[in-house]
Amino acid sequence: MKLTKLVAALPDEKSFSSARPYFNHAVEFKSIFSAAERAKMLEQVGFNVFFFPSEMITGCDLLSDSGTTTMTNEQWAALHLGDEAYGSNKGYFLLKEQIKATFGEKFFNEHTANLQNAFIFHQGRACENALFSVLGKLGPGLIIPSNGHFDTTHANIEANKIAALNLFSHELKDEDSNSHFKGNMDIVRFKELLKTRHKNIPVAFLTLTNNTGGGQPVSMENIKEVSKISKSYDVPLFFDACRFVENAWFIQQYEPGYKSKSIKAIIREMFSYVDGFTISFKKDGLVNMGGGLFLKNDGLFVKKYPKIPDALTNYQIVKEGHPSYGGLSGRSIMTLAAGLKIVTREEYITHRINQVLDFGNIMKKKGIPVLTPIGGHAVYLDVNRFFSDTLMKAEDFGGIGLTALLLAAYGHRACELGYFAFGQYDKLNGKEILPEVNFVRFAIPRLRYEKQDLDSTAEAVKILYEQREKIPKAKVVYGRELPLRHFKARFEMK
């Protein structure tokens, strides 16, 4: 009997195998610390997990999926080929070709062209500051709406005296909704806003995936609809495209008509509807540092604001560097060009999201209240449901106590993104202004952990869920009234 016939008769490996599509190329051993040592350190840093030394993390560090990627051997090899010339280094040209191949020809003009439309920055928030500081100069009373601005985006908009507005989908808070696209923009509110205020809106934003809104994806239908409405009011549309590949995967899986389309083709279609985008490459760029701002060379934005590209170039030169390297070293540009090649591979993205979904489903099976459907880069624990049958009140910031105890007891680091991170202290009446969402986020770094690691996080959370009465209330001892307070505040545990 021929072996080919024999193997054809056996079950397909895809029907049962969960082997990763890659293997470990290099590993790093963790240091060993006890729960008592971690608890002592947490006390020293005022229970702010951002200040907790990562070296002491013996479990999973799920504080962020940003810049925490494990690079591939191709990227490490590319790093060694970095060209550190001051002007027009070798990597710049490779990156240009890769950006065009990934997002579309119109997002990166030749370096000989007069119009510069591609701006390399050191990370996402630097692009945001560049864009919003030039837009802020257009005049007072501006608003930038989004399906959900990330916190730094929000802060950068407001720092430039523009109002940042979140138009979350009403399905985001609807536990009974089984929509796969809870990251969508609320179309009804968007239309109403444009009807009366379109002259005050210099640009509208769609964040892919919607990080503040539970890491939920945005459908192609929503992208198309938002693009059509904004165009009809002469308002340019941008993506905050940090997790564009993860968003494309959800479209491929769940949106009618996209099953047979490749991830690459879906991405090209998504970007055909926008006039520009900002991106932190620390996410779906698969690199540890990098960002970019790209304007479609015949899009509404450059037509409406013909002087802005030059203003951005001036900003870039003064704050970051020459346009051909921006805020990045030549070797970082090389790793980015290589990272963008890998991230759109079907086997990479399928494994990536399935790892996050598997982790979320395990949490769910253990009875832990998590936002469903599970998003693309993180699992979001619903703090209000977690503490619903306890004495924990909104102003006790249960998410802070939970993350502190999880880190001290079991060595896993998660991040409160809820009433403390997004809330505001009203000094006049001494009360908290609560945001719409209250989550603890478990963000999964790319290519870093194995199932066994994440299973251990889920088990640790389950133990704390069973003992939720014992989770301490947090008292803010420093920074309650500060902007971006979650990065800086200090607490005591009651």
Binding site for ligand F0G (CB under 6 A): 64, 66, 123-125, 150, 152-153, 207, 211, 240, 242, 280, 282, 291, 443
Chain centre to alpha carbon of residue 289: 14
Minimum distance of ligand F0G from residue 242's CB (angstroms): 4
Instruction: Determine the 3-state secondary structure of 112 from DSSP.
Output: coil
Of residues 123 and 297, the one with the C-beta less far from ligand F0G = 123
CB of 356 to ligand F0G, least distance (A): 14
Query: Is 68:448 a contact under the CB 8 Å cutoff?
Result: yes
What is the smallest separation between the CB atom of 346 and ligand F0G, expressed in angstroms? 23
How far apart, in whole angstroms, are the C-alpha atoms of residue 391 and residue 494?
13
Do the bridges between strand 237-240 and strand 276-280 make them parallel or antiparallel, or are there none, so unpaired? parallel
Q: What is the largest CA-CA distance in the chain?
A: 84
Q: Which amino acid is at 234?
A: D
Closer residue to ligand F0G (CB): 343 or 392: 343
Q: Please give the C-alpha separations between residue 83 and each of 71, 75, 272, 491, in angstroms, as whole numbers.
A: 19, 14, 32, 46
Residues 6 or more apart in contact with residue 253 via CB below 8 angstroms: 180, 259
What's the min distance (Å) between Cβ of 150 and ligand F0G?
3
**Cβ distance to ligand F0G smaller for residue 123 or 355:** 123
For residue 464, is it left (φ>0), alpha (ψ between -120 and 50) or beta? alpha
Residue with tokens 């253990």: 366
Q: Which is nearer to ligand F0G, 96 or 377 (CB)?
A: 377
Distance in Å, CB of 211 to ligand F0G, minimum: 4
Cα 195–297–140 angle (5° rounding)? Answer: 40
Calpha distance 453→438 (Å, rounded):
25
CB of 75 to ligand F0G, least distance (A): 18
Cβ closest to ligand F0G, residue 363 vs residue 421: 421
C-beta of 247 vs 297, nearer to ligand F0G:
247
Indicate the residue among 91 and 213 with the shorter CB distance to ligand F0G.
Answer: 213
- Residue number closest to ligand F0G, CB atom: 124
- Report residue 49 as tokens: 């997990």
Residues 424/406, Cβ–Cβ less than 8 Å: no
Nearest distance in Å: CB 291, ligand F0G: 5
Of 389, 381, 390, nearest to 457 by C-alpha is 381
Distance (Å, rounded) from C-alpha 475 to C-alpha 400? 10
Nearer CB in complex with ligand F0G: 88/152: 152
- CB 176 → ligand F0G: shortest distance, Å? 27
